[in-house]
A = this chain, B = another copy of it.
Amino acid sequence: MSGRLAVVGLGPGDERFLTPQAAEALAGAEALYGYAPYLARVPERAGQTRHASDNREELSRAEAALEHCLSGARVAMVSGGDPGVFAMAAAVIEAIEAGRPEFRAVEIEIVPGITAMLAVAAKAGAPLGHDFCAISLSDNLKPWELVERRLRLAGEAGFVIALYNPVSRARPWQLGAAFDLLRGVLPAATPVIFGRAVGRADQRLAVVPLSEARSAQADMATCIIIGSAETRVVEREGLAPLVYSPRSARVAG
């Protein structure tokens, strides 16, 4: 009996984004693990234990959930957005690879969810309608030089760029540096979308040209989408503008 671990994507917040597959995985679990604010989104259920942990404890959280499974339990690890995109799925598999051999016998189900960039893009129009990339701006787990290199190559390739983890108290300057770098590669008028808490009651969306993008417009709950040179803004009287990247493209550079 090695148990079973479901790594469940809750989507961006509102339960209208929670897929039936995710709801089923949560309902069938005897124990829930997760970062406290994500756990708080899941309604309490009789007989189900809860194991909340702090931010930046992904690996120990994953190990604790896997240990719990070894008793034969059905466990769910909750994750914001999609668990596979800068979230808990990679941490769980890292813990399996590096941990006790018994961890490899635990049945693993990754349950996808709506990741932040999809929710932000939908709110803004269709900025991800052409080739794009997603970059975590955190330099906790990779050198900043690598982030810079990827931003530069992404801009040169003509990718629309989604930025996750743009800023935190411990990383206050990285986003401003990223904007400065991209201003050297992309046109000044390139649309930049700041989507904060999209899908929640306090959601906020702002669109500014790259020349005016400032890191103070973002916080930990913000996902940022930076257009390519082809991305356009369609103005509408009395309605929010629609930002989109056309499906067709000319040769870049």
Instruction: Report if A3 contacts B (CB, 8 A).
Output: no
Q: Does A84 contact B (CB under 8 A)?
A: yes
Q: Which residues in A have some Cβ–Cβ distance to B below 8 Å?
A: 11, 14-21, 24, 58, 82-86, 89-94, 96-97, 104-105, 107-108, 110-115, 118-119, 121-123, 125-136, 141-143, 145-146, 149-150, 153-154, 156-159, 232, 234, 236-239, 242, 244-253
Contacts of A58 in B (CB 8 A): 247
Q: How far, in whole Å, are A150 and B154 apart by their CA atoms in the complex?
A: 9
**Max chain B CB contacts within 10 Å: which of A17, A92, A97, A244?**
A244
Chain B CB within 10 Å — which of A15, A19, A248 has the most?
A: A19
A135: chain B residues within 8 A (beta carbon): 131
Inter-chain contacts of A105 with B (CB < 8 A): 236-239
Task: List residues of chain B with CB within 8 A of the CB of A141.
Answer: 247-249
A105 to B110, CA, bound (A): 41
Give chain B residues whose Cβ lies under 8 Å from the Cβ of A247: 58, 86, 90-91, 94, 141
Q: How far is the CB of A219 from chain B (nearest CB, A)?
A: 21
Nearest 10 A/B pairs, CB to CB: A90-B129, A133-B133, A89-B126, A141-B248, A110-B122, A16-B21, A153-B157, A90-B126, A93-B244, A142-B249
**What residues on B are CB-neighbors of A246 within 8 Å?**
90, 94
List 28 A-B pairs, Cβ < 8 Å: A15-B20, A16-B19, A82-B118, A89-B126, A89-B244, A92-B126, A93-B242, A94-B244, A104-B239, A105-B239, A110-B121, A110-B123, A110-B126, A112-B114, A112-B121, A112-B122, A114-B114, A115-B118, A128-B134, A131-B136, A131-B150, A133-B159, A141-B247, A141-B249, A142-B249, A146-B158, A146-B249, A153-B154
